[in-house]
Amino acid sequence: MKNGHEAEKKELFQKVRDVLRDRYWNKLVFGARNTLSKDKVSRPVHDVFEYVYSAWESDLDKRSETAYSGSVFLYSVLKGTGRRFTSDVTEANELHEVGKELASFVWEKLEKSSSGKDVRNGDGTLAEIWYQFSEYLWEEFKSVKFRRMEEEK
């Protein structure tokens, strides 16, 4: 059980990383004036966590809200890259799909916990996952960026 869960988590982490790398990080503007923070790098994931948490807390419908979270993910990416729309339907589909998966993952975690509060700040499951996630994405981002800078040289 524990291992299954870990595997699932790892797979999801990678999926999110891939889509962020292809659709988000490479469109973020590097430069002196844009300080890139951990926060910005994992922003879309953060937004989905936030949204799912409040939707779950408000007793909304899981199916429709996790689907909606896909759009939250997509729009977070669009906003982060300074866009209002995308003209690429594949991009929209991909981001939505991954966002949705992420959201169901989070939702299920919430369902398993007894009350929202402890998940969020207390004993840690969700807070912990979020922490791991952002650390992971930050590391990945740095390596991607590093690789890119190498290539550019």
Q: Which residues bind another protein (CB under 8 A)?
A: 51, 54-55, 58, 60, 64-65, 67-68, 70-72, 74-75, 78, 84-87, 89-90, 92-93, 96-97
CB of 12 or CB of 55, closer to another protein:
55
- Running DSSP on this structure, what letter comes out for residue 74? H
- Running DSSP on this structure, what letter comes out for residue 25? G
- Minimum Å gap between C-beta 139 and another protein is 29
Q: What's the Rg (C-alpha) of the chain?
A: 16
List, in order, residues 6 or more apart from 85 with CB less than 8 Å away.
Answer: 78
- Minimum Å gap between C-beta 53 and another protein is 10
CB of 55 or CB of 137, closer to another protein:
55
CB of 53 or CB of 141, closer to another protein:
53
- Minimum Å gap between C-beta 125 and another protein is 22
Question: Which run of H or E residues covers position 85?
Answer: none
- Minimum Å gap between C-beta 30 and another protein is 25
CB of 42 or CB of 66, closer to another protein:
66
Label residue 55 exposed, middle or buried (CB < 10 Å: 0-12, 13-18, 19+): buried
Question: Are the beta carbons of 70 and 97 closer than 8 angstroms?
Answer: yes
